[in-house]
Amino acid sequence: YQDEHPARGGVTTPFPLKLHEMLIATSAEGMEDVVSWQPHGRCFLVHKPKEFVELLPRFFKLSKLASFQRQLNLYGFQRLTRGRDRGGYYHELFLRNRTFLAHSIQRIKVKGTGVRARSNPDQEPDFWAMPWVNNDEAKIREAHYPSLI
């Protein structure tokens, strides 16, 4: 995929892939109390914003939570405003153990209006009612996306 679709704008690793790497690393390092996937694997949550800000420079060229949130918005991530996932972020192509899907997340062109669409809590997905994302990424890629191997 990376050969066919090289990163644009001088970015070697796009933000969504770095975000996946960060969630994998923080989990491996036992830092899931700071930031983690929700158990269903369809969104992630920053549990301790102050400690999270200290982690940002390790994974991104960012040092402020607002800059991180702006990147999420620029890549089309939505913030959940109620329920057990309140405060979490999701994107339909950003799922645990499905890093290969994140390659398809495109940065949204900035239009400069400064006006964001209002959130509609009634239209937010209920990830707890959906099948959980726990399967091995390699097996899924092989079965459904053999051209990406």
Q: For 60-81, what is each residue's pLDDT tens digit?
A: 999 999 999 999 999 999 999 9
Q: How far is CA 100 from CA 14, 23, 42, 130, 137, in A?
A: 12, 15, 15, 21, 8
What the block records as the tokens of 79 is: 């913030």
Strand ranges (DSSP E) for the chain? 35-37, 44-46, 78-79, 89-90
pLDDT the model gives residue 67: 95
pLDDT the model gives residue 73: 94
Nearest to 135 by CA among 84, 110, 99: 99
Residues 46-59: what's their mean pLDDT? 95
Rounded Cα–Cα distance for residues 13 and 111 (Å) = 24
Rounded Cα–Cα distance for residues 71 and 59 (Å) = 13
Angle at alpha carbon of residue 127, lines to 126 and 130, rounded to 5°: 105
Nearest to 141 by CA among 105, 104, 101: 101
Predicted TM-score (pTM) of the model is: 0.74
